[in-house]
Structure 1
Amino acid sequence: MFCDKCDGVLNARFEPSYFDNEGDIRNAVYNHHETLSSLQASIEEGCLICCRLSSQIMLHQLIQSFQQNNQDSFTSAQIVQSSFEEDTEEENDSFSLNILPGHFGSIPLLELRFRPLSDATVNSSILSYRRLVSSSTNTQESKSLVANWLDMCEQKHLKCFPYRGSDWQPTRLLDLGSLSDSQTDRVRIIESQRESPTGPYVTLSHRWGGSDFYKLTKTTYANLRSGISSQILPRTFRDAVRATKRVLGVRYLWIDSLCIFQDPDDQSDWLKEALTMDKVYKTAFCNLSATGAADSSQGLFFDRRPEQSRPAEVTLTPSHFDPSASAHGYLMVEESASSRQLESTPLQRRGWVFQERLLARRNLHFCCDQLIWECKELYASETYPEGIEIGECVSPWTTLLNGDPPELGLGDEEFENHYHDIWCQIVFRYSECELTVPTDKVIALSGIAKRMREILQDEYVVGMWRRSLPHQLLWTAYSPSKAKQIAGSPDTYRSPSFSWFSTEGTVAMSRWRHQDSILFSVKDITLEYETTDTTGPVKNGHIILHGFVRTMRLYNETDEPSRTQVTIGGVKMNVFTVSLDSRMHGSFLKSSMPLSSDVYCLIARRNITATTYECLILDHVSSGRYKRIGICAVGPKERIATIVEQLPKSESPVPHLTYSTESKKSTVMLI
């Protein structure tokens, strides 16, 4: 059941190698497997804990940590008492086991909770789990469970009812043939306007990877129109054909590479079809997600070790906290199992898939360990078929953009706050994703932007919204790419510099806090698009801002080279944060040497506590035209007030479109 290493840690046979919190036994850390080969041997032997570390992603993280750090233990284990307060006896008896890469102090790769079987909460809810016994996800039992989920969703989930424009059809679909002929796996393309489909369709989310496979091109179009055997398609597509027809009972399937022309010398069809992705996925009957596959050759179904996913009833003598403890039963539960099996996969880190998953009314995830169902009212798995309620109550994907706004019963201000916060979450999650083609960043979010536009009834401004634009302009880029900022190069133009689309790395958008004081105004917005779709690619654009624009200098002191110093209008500031939008802008920081005078800042917002001000860092281009290059938070308010209320004698008005000697404000253009 457990390898010697895990058993020794759980039953307190080993001495801790380290005590967290100054010797507190409630956070003891133990050496676990000293080598990779030792861990792999335990996985092969079927250790209930080590088996959960067997995924390629986890092993890669472990190996990487071991190689990058001078570790003398390949993995460590941490025992954590679940409650430090005087609470119920049952809660104090429960504990957690965390498996860490290398030494202590790292983020756990695996977190297991051990709850006494005598705990009433265990008996009433957690024991409702279903024991996985099959060694594959491709069984009749699994398919019957999918049919049950689908039937429940179709009959009872009001939020999952068809989209009101459900009679819309994609330009092309794959016709899988009559449902009564379940043995024929022949597919052909139909043009929906010429040959109207007679039923719903299913979509597929998949990772292309590096594999070469059969696609729709001008050359293959004739064959696909007349029909081809699915056997010439990659395994993931073949599995999707069978799952659509035999499991879901649907005749039509949409796969991007087979329903959009992929000719490299002609992108016109791709551009047109890419801008309809909102309708493609929200109108679909269900979205099949090849979550466990690294590319199209690996398929939807996988062999599995059931013990890697299911809870287990075990007998332990955990004397870590009580030397007189006796042996009794525990339920071992991995409360974040679905996140490990779903969220950390390569597919779910893809930018296009982010949109597909969020827009679909139903997602059926084919993971390596089990099938996971996700709709707007249910988040379930083969282990917890009635719904996952342990640790991660519901999937965040079942609540984002969920339901009709009137149902929320919000006032105007609450409504704006609610959806502004949702957009902040969307931007953060999306900016963490990867795109094979960086210039797809705008268009791969256009479907979600269209959905949000329906809700907000607001103007979309390259990743932001007009009514909340002053707040949303104050985004911060974390871990910006070493590569150049995309907007800075004419041949790779993606968006104006004021949009977070222009940079790489994770982006945190500023929260909308009505108590904060915005110190500038947006006078005009001009955007030029590649097409008539205002959520799509942008060719050019600028905004006109009116506010306090002052000279700024960023530099590093010789005795503190890692700390950035800031002066605004010649006045030195206390610096709280400085964040540049791209690492290329790091060249502006020259040790002991201030920037040249053509670096400026827009004093943008005083925060709720009135102790700091946020400022946009600007680089002057010409004639009052600027590019955004970063953001900073500085203070104290008294120094800022001096700069705002009167222009220092040593300073002249900054380059501007217009300047008011009365208000000391400039009108400038951000491009």
Structure 2
Amino acid sequence: MSSSRDRGSNQAEFPIKSSTMSPTSLCPTCIACLSHHQGLQTLENSPGSLMFFHHFQSQTLQDSATANCPICRPLWLQLEPLQSKIPYKASDKQPLTFLLLQPPESFGVERSYELAAYLNDEATTVDGMEHGSVLIFLLQDRRDLEKHYSSTNTSTSTGSREAWETALRWLQKCNSEHSECFVPEEPSWYPTRLLDIGSNASDPVKVVTTADFQPKGGYVTLSHRWGDAAIVKLTKSSAPNLRSGIPLSTLPLSFQQAAEVARRLQKQHIWIDSLCIFQDEDDKSDWLREAALMDKVYSNTFLNIAATRAEDSSQGLFVFRDPDYELKQIEIPCSTTLTDSREPGPAQDFIMSNILFLEHELMGAPLNRRGWVLQERLLSPRVLHFGSGQLFWECRRGVLCERFPDSLPDFMARLTSTKFKSFDMANRKSNKPGMMISEVPQGKNSDLVIFHLWSNVVRAYSETQLTFKSDKAIALSGIAKVMRNTFKDEYVAGLWRRCLEAQLLWSVDGTRQADFRPSTRSFPYRAPTWSWLSVDGKINPGRCLRDGLCAEVLELDLKYRNEDTTGLIVDGSLKLKGRLRRLQVQTLFVPVEEGVNVDMPGMWMLTVGGTDLESSREGLKPWERIAIVLELDIPHVDFHESNRLQELFIMSMGGPWGTSDDPFTNGDVSPWHDMLLLKCVDKKDGVFHRFGLAKLNTEDKPDVWSLVQAYDADEAELPCATYDAETHSHTIILK
């Protein structure tokens, strides 16, 4: 699978060479903009804000980034992946733009300014998504940040003794003060196999089976990206050599350096997926068995070592860095006012912080974009991340880094998920604190709270990527097992049985994946169409409610690859009872002049029971009459053939939604009524596939709501498993 207290401070320095770095300072273009207002533009609608044109050419931006300009460098790192898609070239009409304005109240800071960098051009639309705001900095008064900067580290490597001493302080404090992160020195459970690395760098490393001997002192784990690099794997053919021992130097650099970290902790055993699970393509029995144990592997690790910045295992853990850029306060001069003659006011010194620092450096790092790694991060009590320029510490108490070794600035804690490992249930609107699974209160709201935790997991997981799409279900199974024990409910292909009807109402955000590619449905088979596991896309999870439902799941049937009911699915169906109505879906055409209609791609007209679902209210423009919002699972160009074959249907599921008991909606009630979009694949037996979700705002379009509730004269003839004339309901098989 693709992740796949200080007792050693007297050991030698990590084996990494020193490096000379250039000093950190603003480039001439940034100084000209911020101190002298070069390129100042008029902002008629934003009094008190300032706008400047910045770099006009990608090459000059890249040159400033290479020179370590603290503004241009992170800007370039954000723009570089888009260079092939955004035509950012030399042009006086396409510059980068700075906006200097007062930050919103949600930042929770005073005496500060927001510095936003934008691509000032229509070409910022890539794959249908806006890429306008590239990066946001916060300029703060020194007095508001001094307490957070206690780093005196001047080392030029994340493998240095100074970096290691910082990591040890984090570990010691976590071990002694964080009861929620506690791992016994001698765990009660060990993985099936471990890698014995010996006590010296010259010792051979060998794969050992824990059933054959009693390991002592616990173990550490490694999270890494396999990538395209050649990698040593445990197979039937390589097993004899790996059991007898091989030189550490024959392993990938990330493995070698992870072994060095383990030795510094005086841990002799490390678990690495590729070396502790048989990887034979023609025999997946061991892989399936071990994959079902991932919750135990990571829950019992003393420390999870993460090669967070590395694209593959050949790149190692340790990197050179410029400590002035990565670790120190970045002080910049900036004029925030204009005189009456529109000259820049006196410049002030501000401390500049990248607001999205954690999002870019940790959450969006190469390793953390991988699907398998989500459960490794969540289930490990603590993780030491080796990032692109510094170390990050992540435990159930929160996140720290070498730049902020003792505490994060308040604004960063407010704007970023800094308690990821506790599923960060902070309600930022009401400033409610985070909550861990173990802290969920018991009572009538406990299901809602746990479900919100699960929803956060689903959203995060759906934004990751998998090398093998078939791993979608099993790469989440470890977290599912932990949640199942807490939820006390049956896990059903990414959903939960107790509120399964409302759980079916998930949707795909914009029919796209996290990397902006269109969403896709899995092939070969991975999960039934009613499960979000069947789709590669950004998922908005369903609900956890029983009130307001008008459909019912009568039976459920899931078949798995083995005995693990959170793992690989080979077949699945459910019997769903509700009101079925015939549906046609057509692209919306809007009249622009007499006899001329223009189609509106992505906007659909729904016809149910022969009646168009559009509002009859006066004064509405043609596109405003559309009452139904379609959230398709995957993009569709048209539905002509399905309309001709009369194979599309709609089933009302329920709504409006909401409850005054829900602590995360503040008692708000959603006016939306949700309906499943269905395609009949077997009219004789009443078998259907899901292809999306339809939503109707019953408050905004009450006249359309009456159309949805109407009865059809031919409803008894619709394809289904059974029909109940008394309740006008159909039982269908949804696969």
When the two structures are superposed, what TM-score results if normalisation uses the length of structure 2? 0.82
1:469 maps to 2:507:
no
Q: Which residue of 2 aligns with 1:616?
A: 676
Q: Which residue of 1 aligns with 2:238?
A: 220
Q: Which residue of 2 aligns with 1:506?
A: 538
Q: Deviations over 1:376-423 (max 9, x none)?
A: 0131000111122342316141321897756333422x1111111111
Conserved 8 A contact 2:491-2:497: yes
Q: Tell me which of 489, 496, 509 is aligned to 1:458.
A: 489
1:114 maps to 2:139:
yes
Taking a change above 3 Å as real, the CA distance of residues 243 and 317 of structure 1, as seen in their structure-2 partners, is: closer
Q: Which residue of 1 aligns with 2:729?
A: 665
Task: Please state how far the C-alpha of 1:543 moved relative to its aligned partner.
Answer: 0.7
Counterpart Cα distance in 1 of 2:412 and 2:461: 21
Give the letter aligned to residue 540 of structure 2.
Answer: A
Taking a change above 3 Å as real, the CA distance of residues 431 and 32 of structure 1, as seen in their structure-2 partners, is: same
Counterpart Cα distance in 1 of 2:671 and 2:577: 23
Conserved 8 A contact 2:519-2:537: no
Q: Deviations over 1:175-219 (max 9, x none)?
A: 1113xxx44352111001012211211111111111112211112
In structure 1, list runs of 5 or more residues that go unmatched.
none
Q: Tell me which of 569, 572, 580 is aligned to 2:632.
A: 580
Superposition pairs of residues 121-160 of structure 1, within 5 angstroms: 121-123=144-146, 125-126=147-148, 128-160=149-181
Q: Deviations over 1:420-440 (max 9, x none)?
A: 111111111111111111111
Taking a change above 3 Å as real, the CA distance of residues 102 and 208 of structure 1, as seen in their structure-2 partners, is: farther
Counterpart Cα distance in 2 of 1:95 and 1:467: 48
Task: Please state how far the C-alpha of 1:66 moved relative to its aligned partner.
Answer: 3.3
Task: Please state how far the C-alpha of 1:131 moved relative to its aligned partner.
Answer: 4.5
Q: Which residue of 2 aligns with 1:494?
A: 526
Task: Please state how far the C-alpha of 1:321 moved relative to its aligned partner.
Answer: 5.0
Give the letter aligned to residue 613 of structure 1.
Answer: H
Conserved 8 A contact 1:131-1:383: no
Counterpart Cα distance in 2 of 1:432 and 1:324: 44
Counterpart Cα distance in 2 of 1:319 and 1:73: 24
Q: Tell me which of 55, 62, 67 is aligned to 1:40.
A: 62
Q: Which residue of 2 aligns with 1:570?
A: 610
Taking a change above 3 Å as real, the CA distance of residues 46 and 631 of structure 1, as seen in their structure-2 partners, is: closer
SS of the equivalent of 1:628 reads strand
1:187 maps to 2:187:
no
Counterpart Cα distance in 2 of 1:567 and 1:328: 62
Conserved 8 A contact 1:619-1:626: yes
Superposition pairs of residues 201-350 of structure 1, within 5 angstroms: 201-246=219-264, 248-312=265-329, 314=331, 316-320=333-337, 325-350=345-370
Give the letter aligned to residue 172 of structure 1.
Answer: R
Give the letter aligned to residue 38 of structure 1.
Answer: T
Task: Please state how far the C-alpha of 1:109 moved relative to its aligned partner.
Answer: 3.0
Which deviates more, 182-191 or 622-631? 182-191
Counterpart Cα distance in 2 of 1:139 and 1:418: 43
Which deviates more, 392-401 or 278-287? 392-401
Q: Which residue of 2 aligns with 1:15?
A: 39
Counterpart Cα distance in 1 of 2:337 and 2:283: 66
Which deviates more, 33-42 or 217-226? 33-42
Conserved 8 A contact 1:604-1:615: yes
Taking a change above 3 Å as real, the CA distance of residues 406 and 231 of structure 1, as seen in their structure-2 partners, is: closer
Q: Which residue of 1 aligns with 2:103?
A: 82
Q: Which residue of 2 aligns with 1:366?
A: 386
Identity in percent: 31
Task: Please state how far the C-alpha of 1:99 moved relative to its aligned partner.
Answer: 2.5
1:397 maps to 2:420:
yes
Q: Tell me which of 590, 594, 599 is aligned to 1:561.
A: 599
Taking a change above 3 Å as real, the CA distance of residues 523 and 112 of structure 1, as seen in their structure-2 partners, is: same
Conserved 8 A contact 2:193-2:210: yes
Conserved 8 A contact 2:231-2:251: yes
Task: Please state how far the C-alpha of 1:84 moved relative to its aligned partner.
Answer: 8.7
Q: Tell me which of 619, 629, 632 is aligned to 2:691.
A: 629
Taking a change above 3 Å as real, the CA distance of residues 310 and 549 of structure 1, as seen in their structure-2 partners, is: same
Counterpart Cα distance in 2 of 1:403 and 1:633: 31
CA RMSD of aligned residues (A): 2.9
Taking a change above 3 Å as real, the CA distance of residues 251 and 524 of structure 1, as seen in their structure-2 partners, is: same
Taking a change above 3 Å as real, the CA distance of residues 667 and 621 of structure 1, as seen in their structure-2 partners, is: same
Conserved 8 A contact 1:580-1:586: no
Q: Deviations over 1:594-653 (max 9, x none)?
A: 453221111111224685421101111221111111111136455544654x63235544
Conserved 8 A contact 1:627-1:670: yes
Counterpart Cα distance in 2 of 1:528 and 1:540: 5
SS of the equivalent of 2:33 reads helix
Taking a change above 3 Å as real, the CA distance of residues 506 and 351 of structure 1, as seen in their structure-2 partners, is: same
Conserved 8 A contact 2:34-2:333: yes
Give the letter aligned to residue 612 of structure 2.
Answer: K
Task: Please state how far the C-alpha of 1:571 moved relative to its aligned partner.
Answer: 2.5
Superposition pairs of residues 588-599 of structure 1, within 5 angstroms: 588=639, 594-599=643-648
1:173 maps to 2:194:
yes
Conserved 8 A contact 1:48-1:307: no
Give the letter aligned to residue 278 of structure 2.
Answer: F
Task: Please state how far the C-alpha of 1:486 moved relative to its aligned partner.
Answer: 4.2
Counterpart Cα distance in 1 of 2:612 and 2:670: 18
Counterpart Cα distance in 1 of 2:628 and 2:711: 23
Task: Please state how far the C-alpha of 1:48 moved relative to its aligned partner.
Answer: 2.7
Counterpart Cα distance in 2 of 1:70 and 1:651: 62
Counterpart Cα distance in 2 of 1:648 and 1:378: 56
Taking a change above 3 Å as real, the CA distance of residues 529 and 70 of structure 1, as seen in their structure-2 partners, is: farther
Counterpart Cα distance in 2 of 1:70 and 1:344: 31
Counterpart Cα distance in 2 of 1:552 and 1:153: 58
Counterpart Cα distance in 2 of 1:513 and 1:457: 16
Counterpart Cα distance in 2 of 1:70 and 1:650: 63
Task: Please state how far the C-alpha of 1:68 moved relative to its aligned partner.
Answer: 9.8
Task: Please state how far the C-alpha of 1:313 moved relative to its aligned partner.
Answer: 5.4
Conserved 8 A contact 1:176-1:187: yes
Taking a change above 3 Å as real, the CA distance of residues 63 and 321 of structure 1, as seen in their structure-2 partners, is: farther
Counterpart Cα distance in 2 of 1:115 and 1:643: 54
1:6 maps to 2:70:
no
Taking a change above 3 Å as real, the CA distance of residues 468 and 595 of structure 1, as seen in their structure-2 partners, is: farther
SS of the equivalent of 2:693 reads strand
Which deviates more, 330-339 or 449-458? 330-339
Counterpart Cα distance in 1 of 2:184 and 2:693: 41
Conserved 8 A contact 1:33-1:73: no
Counterpart Cα distance in 1 of 2:252 and 2:457: 32
Q: Which residue of 1 aligns with 2:464?
A: 433
Counterpart Cα distance in 1 of 2:263 and 2:220: 10
Counterpart Cα distance in 2 of 1:275 and 1:533: 7
Counterpart Cα distance in 2 of 1:339 and 1:524: 42
Taking a change above 3 Å as real, the CA distance of residues 309 and 137 of structure 1, as seen in their structure-2 partners, is: same
Give the letter aligned to residue 719 of structure 2.
Answer: P
When the two structures are superposed, what TM-score results if normalisation uses the length of structure 1? 0.90
Give the letter aligned to residue 534 of structure 2.
Answer: S
1:50 maps to 2:50:
no
Taking a change above 3 Å as real, the CA distance of residues 197 and 577 of structure 1, as seen in their structure-2 partners, is: same
